[in-house]
Structure 1
Amino acid sequence: MSQYFTLFQIEPVFDLDEARLEQAYRDFSARFHPDKFASASSFEQKQAVMMSATINEAYRVLKNPIDRAAHLLQMQGIDADAPEHTQFSTEFLTQQMEWREALMEAQFEQDQAALNRLQQEISGEQASLYQALSQALRQHDWQQAAQLVRQGRFLNKIGSELAAAL
């Protein structure tokens, strides 16, 4: 994985300037769009396609707070998503089960109000997690940040399932 912050010339921090990221993405996408290389050599066309794919992947990673944090950790030599990091607190696992049950029940009963309440709760939990993650990364508490990334993956997954149910 290349260093995506360097590609977009953005400071490697969790709390990045999203407007600057958007602008850099648009600029690079336009500059390296494969259509601009239609009359170029085969080699240059392939390079443009590869560069375009890299730009899109870098943007996807940096745009998503959990992926961005995982990338920052990767820059420190830490793979937050490594299989050996699967331990979670009992409280966290219990909360996950309760949310899953609430989601299944609300879907079964087609209870839109319950789905909306659950979405608000999950969104609030994500916001709190992002604040804690920002602080852990600023303090170079890599292990805490890695744990929060793993928890964030769970929250993102249930958030996606909720979005699909709504």
Structure 2
Amino acid sequence: MLERPALYPWNDAAVAMLKRLWIDGLSCSQIATELGPGFTKNAVIGKGHRLKLPTKPNPQSRGQKSAMGRAAAKSIKANRPKNGKGQPKPQAIAARIAGPKFETAPLPEEEMGNDVTHLIGIMDLKAHDCRWISGDPLNVHGYCGKRAKEDSSYCDEHHARVYMGHAR
């Protein structure tokens, strides 16, 4: 291991050792281990690039694909249409994108007899809409959506419920 100053680890001896180990073909993490504490794999990579050392070959680029990579490539080839045949029809694509239709469960407020016709989804909320959540926030719910008070996230009714007893 090399003695080095605390502020600048790359002294001449460390650079010489880096060059020698780089040429010998050690991995960057192995070089960092050889150089000692304070040297990281990323520090070795960065210094190697700044010194314009020859790039190390990537094991993946030498045809040594992982088992998962080989399986994925095989799957892609198997699913590739031959001569343009087997392409899905536009209707099938649209049905796949739209997904199956599900009937929605009633909101708890609706079951209790409360009016839920004005509730909106999160994607329909505008900047000044009331953010009061009706229903189960983890399941089926909607937002009040009425015009919010100035400087509030809630309409008059819900603002009074949230800040009950607080001067605002």
TM-score by length of 1: 0.21
Whose Rg is larger? 2
TM-score by length of 2: 0.21
